[in-house]
Amino acid sequence: MPQLRHILPGLLSLALTLLLTACNPKPNATGISYADSYLVDVRTPEEFQSGSADGAVNIPLHTLSTRLEELKGKQQIVVFCRSGARSAQAYEVLQEAGFKNVVDGGSWSEVQAQLTPH
């Protein structure tokens, strides 16, 4: 039992860290919170209708360059698609248009996982 006295503070610290992490929006690898971002699904309207990340808007990749005005003034933009290929293209389109606040979120299921508390 004396060993427990040495382990207990570390276990309490770990439990507190896990609790605080579970209660806060989950940041992605870049450190931003997807929950605080403008989520843009760049798949087709048909794909979007079949399911998307919570709170996302649909701006299909082929229309993105004509709809840039809709994205101006957004704090943080996360683009995503089915597999990550179109979101990579959308990221490039937005970077070339001067948007610096863009993150390539990859697939919509990856973005949804970022939004789901664990």
Angle 71-92-107 (CA atoms, 0-180°, nearest 5)? 80
pTM flag (> 0.95): no
Model confidence at 43: pLDDT above 70:
yes
Q: Which of 61, 71, 81, 90 is catalytic?
A: 81
The better pLDDT of the pair 92, 35 is held by 92
Domain ranges of the chain: 26-115
3-state secondary structure at position 104: strand
Return mean pLDDT, the chain: 81
pLDDT band at 34 (very low <50, low <70, confident <90, very high): confident
Averaged pLDDT, 61-84: 96
20's tokens = 């605080």
CATH for 26-115? 3.40.250.10
Q: Is residue 55 predicted with pLDDT exceeding 60?
A: yes
Half-sphere exposure of 43 (CA within 13 A, CB side): 22
**7-11, 42-46, 67-71: which range is least confident on average?**
7-11
Q: Would the pLDDT of 2 be above 70?
A: no
Has 23 been annotated as catalytic? no
Minimal CA–CA distance to 74: which of 89, 63, 59, 53?
Answer: 59
